[in-house]
Amino acid sequence: MQVVIFGATGPLGSFVVKEASSQGYSVKAFTRMREIVGPQLHIIQGDMFNFKDVERAIKGANAVLCCLGDGAKGTACSKGTQNSVLCLVSC
C-alpha cells in the first residue's frame, strides 16, 4: 500500500513516516526540504500551496495523511489541506 504523508519533516510527520515505514507501507514523503531518508521511502519535494505539486504527489496513492503544522502565517493547514482535498476529489 502506498501512503503519501504531507508535512513529513515536522515533529508529527517524521514520527508518522517512521511508523508507516516500519509497518511495511511504501511511503511518499511530501516536503519542501529533502532532509529525511529511510527504507521504502520516496521523497517528493514540493509546496502544499502549489496545486500541481500536490496533484503529482498523490497520484497512485492508496492513502493520504496530513501532518501539516499551521505554518508561519497560519495558512498552511487550510490552504494545503484545500489543495489536497481538491486533488483527491479530481482523481
Model-level pTM?
0.78
Provide the pLDDT for residue 47.
87
Provide the pLDDT for residue 38.
60
76, pLDDT greater than 70:
no
Sketch the domain layout of the chain as residue ranges: 2-90
Q: SS3 for 26-63, per residue?
A: EEEEEECCCCCCCCCEEEEECCCCCHHHHHHHHCCCCE
Architecture of domain 2-90: 3-Layer(aba) Sandwich (3.40)
What percentage of residues in the chain have a pLDDT greater than 90? 31
75, pLDDT greater than 70:
no
| Averaged pLDDT for residues 55-83 | 76
CB-CB contact of 26 with 2 (8 Å): yes
What residues does 27 pair with on adjacent strands?
A: 3, 41
Q: Decide: helix, strand or coil at residue 21.
A: helix
Provide the pLDDT for residue 9.
84
